[in-house]
Structure 1
Amino acid sequence: MLEEEYLNLAKFVLEHGQRKDDRTNTGTLSYFGYQMRFDLTTGFPLLTTKSVPFRLIKSELLWFLHGDTNIKYLLQHNNHIWDEWAFKKWVTSNEYHGPNMDDFGHRAAKDVEFNRIYQTEKARFCDRILNDPEFATKYGDLGLVYGSQWRNWKTSTGKTIDQLKNVIETIKHHPDSRRMIVSAWNPEDVDQMALPPCHTLFQFYVNDGKLSCQLYQRSADIFLGVPFNIASYALLTNLIAKECNLQAGDFVHTLGDAHLYLNHLDQIKEQLTRKPHPAPQLWLNPEKSSIFSYDIDDIKIENYHHDKPIHGTVAV
C-alpha cells in the first residue's frame, strides 16, 4: 500500500533517530537523509491510519498557486495551519498590549488556563485579519514565503520570475529537459520569511506519458507536517499532469532532517499500531485545465476511509 512508505519512515526514525535539540526547544529524534517513493497511478497518498483534513491541503496549495502570502485567504477557507507564525508577528510587535504571549506554543500545551487565554487572543487576531484590511496587510502577511518564490521570484534587476508557469511551459514543449525545477529557497529572502521554506526545491520528470515529481525537503516534521507535504505535492503533480495531458507518475520525497518531535512520540506509536485502509482517489474538475484556474470545489477526494484523528501540538 502507498501508506507503508510513510509508516516505514516513522518506524525507522523511532528506531534509529538520534536525540537532537532544535530551534523550537521541543527536542527531536532526528535522522539525516531518507527517501520515499509513491506510485500515483495506484491511488492518492492521503494517510488513512489517521484522518488528514484534505480541505486544508487543497486550500493551502491553491494559496501557493495564487502567489499569495497573506493568511487572510486561508482564514476565509477556515484554514488555520499558518496562524501561529502570523500571530507571533503580532504579539511580538510594539502595537500588541494584550496578555503576555511569550513562548505561547509550549505554554499552551502545558497550561490549561493559559491555553484558554491564548485561544481567545488568537481568535481575536484571526477575526481582525478577516475584518480589518489595514491590520491584515500589516500582520497577516508572512513575508516572501512559498507563493512569492514560486510565482514572483525577485531578481537582482528588479524583475520577477514566475517559476511555476515557466516549468509548466517547459513540460509541455521540452519534456526531456533536466531543468524543470522550482526553488523556494532564496538565500537573500530567507530573513524576510515568517518561516524559511521546509520544502525547498522540486523537479519534474517526464517519461512514458507520465509526469513524476521529486521534492527535496530540508526539514521534515514527520508526524504533523510530512502527511500534508506528501498529499500537497501529489496533488500538485496531478494538477500539472492534467494540464500537460500526462498521467501522474511517481512522487519521490527526499528528506534532509527527518524528525519526530519528542512531544509526538506517543502519537506516532499509536498510529503505527493501526492498519492502513486502501488509498482514496483524487477527482479534478474535468472542465478546468490551467492549474491557476482551480477553486476549492474543483478538487475532491473520493472513497476516503480512515481511522480517527490523532492530535499533536505544532512546534513554532
Structure 2
Amino acid sequence: MERQYLDLARQVLDHGDARLDRTGVGTTSLFGAMLRFDLSGGQVPVLTTKRVYWKLAVKEMLWFLTGGTNIRPLLEQNVRIWTDWPLAAYRRATGEDIDQRTFEGRILADEAFAAKWGELGPVYGKQWRRWLGPDGQEHDQIAALIRTLRTDPASRRMLFHAWNVAEVGGMALPPCHMVYQYHVTSDGRLNGLLYQRSCDLLLGLPFNLTGAAVLQRMLAQQANLEPGELVWMGGDVHVYSNHVDQVRQQIAREPRALPVLTLRKAASIDDYRIEDFTLSGYDPHPPITAEVAV
C-alpha cells in the first residue's frame, strides 16, 4: 500500500509544475491525486520508507479533538510541530531574534505569555468542536458525526470540515486537511475520506495519513463499527524545492510491511490518551530530515 505514496512522489517530481509559492521556497506541484488504504486488518498507513514519529501525529490528533488552539498543551507533551507559526509571528511583531527553544521555554513557563503568543487562532480544533454559527451558537461537528454514525449510518451527511470562510483570516495557517467524510457499509465497516487542499508530500502527508487513520479507528470504536478503507484525496500536491533530494532518497527505498495499530476503547471520543495506542511491527528505514516552509 505504501508504493502508491512513492509513485505519487515520483509523479510529482517527474511531471509537476514548477511554482513560486506563498512561502517563497518554491515547489513542484501536481493538482489532484488519490490514495487508498485498507484498514480492515488493523494495519495503518504509517510509512516505512522513513521513520514517522507516529506518537506526535496521534498527540496532535488528540489535541485537535480537545478543541484547543494554543500550542502550550502540545509543548507540555514535547510536541513542537506547531511552534514555527507563532514563533514567526512573535519575531515579526517584536523584532526579537529569539530561538525556538527559548520561545518554547517562555510559553511553558509563563501562562500569560502563552495566552498571547502561543495562540494559533481559530484553527482545526476550534472548527471541529466549536464552529460558531451566525446566531452565536457553537456546533460540535465531531459529536454530531458520532451521533449520526450510531443512529443513521446510511446518511450521506456524515462529515465535518474546518474551512470556515469567516474565520480563515484569523488562523495562523488555514486548514490543509480540511474535509473528512464517512461512509458505513451494509456489513458494518467504517470507510473514511479525507480531502486535503494543500499537501506537503515529504513532511505533511505522512502525519496527515497517520492522524486520519487513527481518527477513523477511534470513530469506528465509538460507533461499534469495524474499520474499512481510508481514501485520501489531494488538491495541490507538492514537493518543496529544498526537499527534492530527500524525496528522491525516500523513493529509492524499499517499503516494508505496514504496522498494526491496537487501541484501548475509551468511554468517549474525548477520553482517549496516548497510552491507549500501541503500534506493532513497525520497522521503518531511518528518518529523513528537512526544513518546514512557513
The TM-score bracket by the shorter chain reads over 0.9
Q: What is the CA deviation profile of residues 149-208 of structure 1, one whole-angstrom value per residue up to 9, with x for unaligned ones? A: 000000101110000110110010000000011010000000010000001111000002
d(CA) in 2 for partners of 1:152, 1:46: 29
Amino acid at match of 1:69: T
Structure 2 match to 1:16: 15
Taking structure 1 as the reference length, the TM-score comes to 0.91
Q: What's the CA shift for 1:21?
A: 1.1
Amino acid at match of 1:146: Y
Structure 2 match to 1:98: 96
Structure 1 match to 2:202: 223
| Residue number among 170, 184, 187 corresponding to 2:148 in the alignment | 170
Query: Which segments of structure 1 move beyond 3 Å, counting only runs of 4 or more?
Result: none
d(CA) in 1 for partners of 2:276, 2:68: 19
| Residue number among 171, 181, 192 corresponding to 1:213 in the alignment | 192
> What SS is found at the alignment partner of 1:44?
coil
Q: What's the CA shift for 1:296?
A: 1.5
Q: What's the CA shift for 1:289?
A: 3.6
Q: What's the CA shift for 1:97?
A: 4.8
Amino acid at match of 2:70: N
> What SS is found at the alignment partner of 1:253?
strand
Structure 2 match to 1:152: 130
d(CA) in 2 for partners of 1:277, 1:289: 34
d(CA) in 1 for partners of 2:132, 2:86: 22
Q: What is the CA deviation profile of residues 211-266 of structure 1, one whole-angstrom value per residue up to 9, with x for unaligned ones? A: 01111110000011001111100110001001111111111101000001111110
Structure 2 match to 1:271: 250
Q: What's the CA shift for 1:277?
A: 1.0
Question: Which stretches in structure 1 are left out of the alignment for 5+ residues?
Answer: 100-117
Q: What is the CA deviation profile of residues 19-77 of structure 1, one whole-angstrom value per residue up to 9, with x for unaligned ones? A: 01100011111011111111112411100010000111011001000000100011011
Taking structure 2 as the reference length, the TM-score comes to 0.97
Structure 2 match to 1:244: 223
Structure 1 match to 2:45: 45
Structure 2 match to 1:32: 31
Assess if the C-alpha contact under 8 Å between 1:242 and 1:289 holds in 2. Answer: no
d(CA) in 2 for partners of 1:289, 1:8: 40
d(CA) in 2 for partners of 1:9, 1:168: 33
Structure 2 match to 1:108: none
Structure 2 match to 1:65: 65
Question: Which stretches in structure 2 are left out of the alignment for 5+ residues?
Answer: none
| Residue number among 264, 279, 282 corresponding to 2:261 in the alignment | 282
Amino acid at match of 1:143: G
d(CA) in 2 for partners of 1:155, 1:23: 30
d(CA) in 2 for partners of 1:214, 1:180: 11
Amino acid at match of 2:219: I
Q: What's the CA shift for 1:98?
A: 2.5
Structure 2 match to 1:141: 119
Q: What percentage of aligned pairs have identical amino acids?
A: 45
